[in-house]
Amino acid sequence: MNLVIHDPSPTRNDYYSHMFARSMRLASGHLGSPAQNTALNEVRDSVVVLLTDDITDELICQLKERRNKIVGFNVTDSAYFSNAIRYSKYLELIDLIFMVSGVPTRNETKDMVVDPDFTVRLVDYPFVPDDERQIFYLMRRAGKLQSLPYMTWSPTPEVRRWPYRERSQKCILRGGGHSRRFLLAMFLMRHDLLDPNSGFFLRDYFDDAMNPAFRFCDMCRLVFKTERRFRYAAMVPHVSCNSPVARPLDGGPWYDMSDLGKWNNRCPRSFYWMADEFQKRYGPVDMVQIEKMLNDRFLDAREHLEMLGRITFTSDLKWIHSIYAPQRFWEAASAGCINVLPERTMAQEFFPVIKPGQHYLVFEETFQNLPLAFSIDEGTYNEMAGECRQLYERWLMAGQFGINTNLLSHIFEEMRKL
């Protein structure tokens, strides 16, 4: 296999450059196909690897005219094609696309919506519109779309994996201030299932260096700078605040929850309001714990892994068609912490293969029966934790060329089939 790995400087995507292009170049000689330094306008009869963001219709035609095979790496933080190729006239001429995500197996799935009275229900939500559906699923059935795991940037620290009976039998949630994740946290609190080490990272949005498009308003930032936290008592709205709940629309009620994306990474007052409205429907939650979570700090990798090593469950809930088995899935697998994921996860296929009931548990996105979903006996725990650890060691544990050597071999084997 004649191999050319395209990764121009400056790179369009640091993750592709660091995790894949760099590792593949380092491993190419060891795996029997040394990468060549041939310019794209000269390469012929080769396998050309490049980021899908760098692919154009013109480039596809030029490469195919010179009898090349095209291999794209799609890194979009979702299951969607990058915009560069999504609407391409020549998309099906790409020979193989590695999707750094799961690959949807059906177009229709369910998404959660929240009514003004905080009723949670599910609605049909298509993955792609009809004019895109046929080409996506033709490519999938032809084996042209293959999942790859979303790996951590740096090697995952090894920590003690506590036995089942010594673990907190609760669930830890940690990450950015996403509305769905926060709602899941409150529902878990209602059943005393949320581990107190859970937290949401909003501090960066108070910082002067944050992009003004995302930075919290001046008054909220002043409160935070003065007190080094944003208290529940400080949530009275003011007209300069850019929180969705700061200003009524035309004198009407506060924003409703119909577009949950509007609430992602908003200031703590938004989530305090959400908690107040939640309590009107579902009963009290611990606002002291809510305040602690919304003022939490980012942990370094070892601190985070040590938490996972002594807690039974972790979970997450983000936007529809996002990466359902992200980096935190494999961090948990390394530490013996069981992933409990939304049912939508079953609508995607993954590499390495992960299956519900064998590698993760699922919960209903209407948050029904959470105590049943977040429960596991010792024997099942040991079996599932062991299966996940084996997958992690075989496919995710960092190797001599950066990413896992078995994973690199898998990538090269798939390219040699072209």
3-100+398-416: CATH, from 3.30.1660, 1.25.40, 3.30.160, 3.40.50: 3.40.50
348-349/103-104 β-pairing: antiparallel
pLDDT tens string 165-223: 999 999 999 999 999 999 999 999 999 999 999 999 999 999 999 998 889 988 888 88
Q: Residue 347 has which token pair?
A: 């609508």
pLDDT tens string 363-391: 999 999 999 999 999 999 999 999 999 99
Helices of type H across 168-245: 179-190, 218-227
Counts for the chain of helices (H) and strands (E), in that order: 14, 16
pLDDT of residue 252: 46
Out of 41-55, 173-187, 252-266, 359-373, which region has the weakest mean confidence (pLDDT)? 252-266
* pLDDT, mean of residues 55-79: 97
Cα 232 from Cα 383, distance rounded (Å): 42
For the whole model, what pTM was predicted?
0.94
| Domain spans in the chain, listed from the N-terminal domain onward | 3-100+398-416, 164-396
pLDDT at 237 > cutoff 70: no
* pLDDT, mean of residues 319-324: 93
Using pLDDT thresholds of 50, 70 and 90, give the confidence band for residue 256: low
120-126/108-114 β-pairing: antiparallel
Within this chain, domains 3-100+398-416 and 164-396 share the same CATH topology: yes
Cβ atoms of 279 and 302 within 8 Å: the answer is no
Q: How far apart are the first and last CA of the chain?
A: 10
pLDDT of residue 325: 94
Neighbours of 386 (CB within 10 A): 11
When the pLDDT of each residue in the chain is averaged and rounded to a whole number, the result is 93
Cβ atoms of 151 and 327 within 8 Å: the answer is yes
Cβ atoms of 367 and 340 within 8 Å: the answer is no
pLDDT tens string 285-302: 999 999 999 999 999 999
Q: Name the architecture of domain 164-396.
A: 3-Layer(aba) Sandwich (3.40)
Return the amino acid letter for 26: L
pLDDT of residue 121: 94
pLDDT of residue 223: 87
Cα 155 from Cα 137, distance rounded (Å): 34
